[in-house]
Amino acid sequence: MGDRILLEGMDFYGYHGVNHSEKEVGQPFIVDLELELDLKAAGDSDNLCDTVDYSQAYLIVKMVMEGQSRNLLESVAEALAQNLLHFLALDGVKVRVTKPQVYIEGAVLRGSSVEIHRQRNA
C-alpha cells in the first residue's frame, strides 16, 4: 500500500437506516477515511497545493452524512467514496462508516460498520 492520509473518528448525526425511527429521529455515525495519494511532492515542498486539504475532505463527508437519507450503510459508504474520488485528486480511498447505536433484540454490540475500498478508474 502506498502513501495515505488518515482522517479518523469524524462524528455526524444523520438519518440513515431502514427503520422508520432511524429516518425520523436520526442517530450518530462515525466515519474514518484513508485517502490514498502520492505524498512525496508535499513532503518535499511543504506546500498544501501538493496534497489534499483535510477540510475539503471533511466537507464532502459532512455533505453526504448530513444529506440525503439512505437505507444502508453500504450505500452511505459508496456515496462517500464516489464523492471523494470525484472532487479530490486521490488514487483511492478506504471508507469506514460506523453506526454506534445498533438495536438487535437480545444482542449486545458496540456498533456495526461497513468498510469499502475504491480506486480511481484509470
Please list the alpha-helical segments (H only) found in the chain: 20-24, 40-45, 54-65, 73-87
The closest of 78, 84, 66 to 7, measured between CA atoms, is 84
Instruction: Please tell me which residue in 23, 40, 62, 99 is annotated as part of the active site.
Output: 99
CB 14 within 8 A of CB 24: no
Alpha-carbon span 96 to 98, nearest angstrom: 6
CB 76 within 8 A of CB 65: yes
23 is catalytic: no
Three-state SS at 19: coil
Known catalytic residues are: 99
